[in-house]
Structure 1
């Protein structure tokens, strides 16, 4: 179920979010009671990017947690540790690099996301215009110099994030031991 946003095109994700969060949508009607309006706001930008990128993070985090040696957790349990203590003192610290890698990968994915963001947030105002959306609009207007400059900046940011991932987060396929 977590991978569902990965299976749809980002534009479909944006449409689903828009239908749910609009004034006539299920969640939109509920949020109206609290005078909260999400579509075409900065919150819509954040929500669209989270919806599309969080599955990447979850897959890295899940993999990191799965690599923790279960024997360590079992020993801690037999010594009287609670499930929360085992997670907080063992599983999470042993998985922290996978969690951080997931965060960086999700951030990298969200930088270039355009489909869901454009549909849910619009991108017509300074508060909802992300770099990817601005590149799109610049190309539509024929402002290729502006589009190229923005693309270079976005690619540079993505390159920096990829370098961080490769430098700090070495790939490992073996079990993590304490």
Structure 2
């Protein structure tokens, strides 16, 4: 009897898509919040960080309120013929929401470590803010951004509670590896559950190891440039 690999494909597709979305949203939000000094900064930061500390089922419940058939986004999508709940895009939304705080907080911490004198010097040389961001801020903060990206990917890969509530357990469509593990264990198929556990641990381990080697390679390049 063949093994159903769809949970692997769905998990990887969901995690990669969510990571790409979270990468851009996270770094731009982190940059905005780094420069923002308004009186509501603490409240806004708390809102962005909240999914990190809330139970996944609570996050999933709020997503159901927003994207369900009676929710504001759900009603708008239904009017153009889009049913989001219990679909693959719902797994991506859940993964983005739970992974975003890690991307945002880690990247923001990296941005805040940058010497402002470097940025001010770039401004005096006539560089626009867009060029400063991509050519100076991002390269300097890249080790932190890379770490944030890996954290976001692994969090998206391991998301369970919110995904189950908003996307359900539909084999071949929304069943990710964590969901497959839960229902295999729930049904007494411990060998099958263990197999999925080993697979998701292996994927996460390989990704982290590859990123560590890549980060070390980048660090050596930066050191080499500094000696030139």
- Give the alignment's TM-score, normalised by structure 2: 0.71
- 3-state SS of the aligned residue for 2:48? coil
Mapped pair 1:60 → 2:141: no
Q: Could you tell me how far apart the structure 2 residues matched to 1:3 and 1:156 are? A: 28
How many Å apart are 1:163 and its aligned residue?
2.3
Measure, in 2, the Cα distance between the counterparts of 1:125 and 1:16: 24
String of CA shifts for 1:34-75, please: whole Å, max 9, x gaps.
212111000001111111111111112112211222111001
**Equivalent residue runs for 1:26-105 within 5 Å:** 26-105=72-151
Is 1:161–2:207 an aligned residue pair?
Answer: yes
User: SS where residue 2 of structure 1 aligns?
Assistant: helix
| Residue 110 of structure 1 pairs with residue 159 of structure 2 | no
Higher mean C-alpha displacement, 100-109 vs 39-48:
100-109
Cα separation, 2, equivalents of 1:4 and 1:139: 30
Bigger shift: residues 52-61 or 156-165: 156-165
Pairing 1:9–2:59 present: no
Q: C-alpha displacement at 1:33, in angstroms? A: 2.1
Which residue number corresponds to residue 124 of structure 1?
170
- What is the Cα deviation at residue 165 of structure 1? 4.4
1:140-174 deviation per Cα after TM superposition (whole angstroms, max 9, x unaligned):
1111110000101111112223323444446xxxx
User: How far, CA to CA, are the matches of 2:129 and 2:202 in structure 1?
Assistant: 42
Structure 1 runs not aligned, ≥5 long: 171-177
Q: Secondary structure at the match of 1:135?
A: helix
Matches of 2:124 and 2:106 in 1, distance apart?
A: 28
Single out whichever of 1-10 and 154-163 deviates more from structure 2: 154-163
Once the two structures are overlaid, the 10-residue window that deviates more, 130-139 or 99-108, is 99-108
